[in-house]
Structure 1
Amino acid sequence: AGIKGLLSAEENLTWLCALHQPAGREAIWQALAEVGLRGFEDVPCHTLSAGQQRRVALARLYLNPPPLWILDEPFTALDKHGVAQLEHHLALHCERGGMVVLTTHHSLTEKPLGYRELDLGQRAA
């Protein structure tokens, strides 16, 4: 997930944002709320479930998102609500002019505008 277990969710996002464009505490808390982690801001990430850790990592997409997202199996360890929420956020990003390249075993139910699929299983010879 690209997060440090000894840091809290807020500390992880603060550190990751500092690499590109710093984000304030309110923005970080809002991003955590968007992924369903309100109240977990100061919890060390090593104590979170795999799904919660994935949500911390995905909260980065709510903070100064770059135009191109490259995601590897972003739906792993997410519950149904988390999957639906991520699908919606991916579609919204594309509607706003962004682009998403992702690998997944998950079939999208909400397909972004301009959706294209490459099934590598069908390409193997």
Structure 2
Amino acid sequence: MGAGLTEVGGAVLEVRDLACLRVERAVIAGLSFRVAAGSAVLLTGANGAGKSTLLRLLAGLLRPAEGAILWRGEDVAADPGAHAARLRYLAHQDAVKPALTVAENLDFFARLWGGDVAPALAALGLEALAELPGRVLSSGQKRRLALARLALAPAPLWLLDEPTTGLDAASVERLRPLLAAHRAAGGIVLAATHIPLPIEDAEELRL
């Protein structure tokens, strides 16, 4: 085992015998793994292998047909609200409100989670776009805005579904210090990706 997929004693997040059915087909079956604090796990595999489904299960957006997801030994299904508060989930959709400016979009989430807008803008190089409405942003700019939400108030679990979609190389590189700081504080990253992420010593979980 490496730093990410760990033995029971060092686990913060544990997936135990997880199964998920979609349209009566088993997308995931008998999946078990454990993740330690400060770890990164890259979910890889062919399209349809269950990467996005697993992230939605971990986020509490889908219910498993079998098995359990544990956080520090407690089943997350016992308190969905507490689990939702400990994670940030970045899906394929960027969830950018078109009528709000870039800064206002971030302020909306800062009011929910806490945190400061200015450092989040700086983390993804969005300062010059702060007063532009979301509707005029390019796809890459919208993705950077979605990723900037990670730089608001800390949450121990980041679930990222193809986080670099639409980003150029410079924007991808901006993720390096963001991901490193999150892990240095004990945070966990699980990311579904088809391309390498700027993240050190990540484990791979192939589905």
Q: Same fold (TM over 0.5)?
A: yes
> After TM superposition, what 4+ stretches of structure 1 lie above 3 angstroms from structure 2?
none
Partner residue, 1:43: 132
Q: Say if 1:9 and 1:44, in contact at 8 Å, map to a contact too.
A: yes
Matched residue count: 114
Considering fraction of residues, name the structure with more helix: 1
Aligned residue number for residue 111 of structure 1: 200
Structure 1 counterpart of 2:105: 12
Per the TM alignment, residue 109 of structure 1 is displaced from its structure 2 partner at its CA by 4.7
- Match of 2:98, as an amino acid? G
**Is the 2:113–2:152 contact (alpha carbons within 8 Å) kept by the matching residues of 1?**
no
Q: CA deviation at 1:39?
A: 1.7
The separation in 1 between residues aligned to 2:160 and 2:198, in whole angstroms, is 17
Bigger RCO of structures 1 and 2 (CA < 8 A, at least 6 apart)? 2
1:16: Cα distance to partner? 1.3
Gaps of 5+ in 2: 1-93
Q: Calculate the aligned-residue CA RMSD, in Å.
A: 1.5
More strand by share: 2
Q: CA deviation at 1:30?
A: 2.4
Tell me how far apart the structure 2 counterparts of residues 20 and 38 of structure 1 sit (CA, whole Å).
21
- Percent identical pairs in the alignment equals 43
**TM-score by structure 1 length?**
0.82
Residue matched to 2:91: none
Larger radius of gyration: 2
Give the letter for the 1:64 counterpart: A
- Distance, in Å, in 2 between the alignment partners of 1:101 and 1:59 is 17
Q: Which residue of 1 aligns with 2:45?
A: none
1:29 and 1:41 in contact (8 A); partners too: no
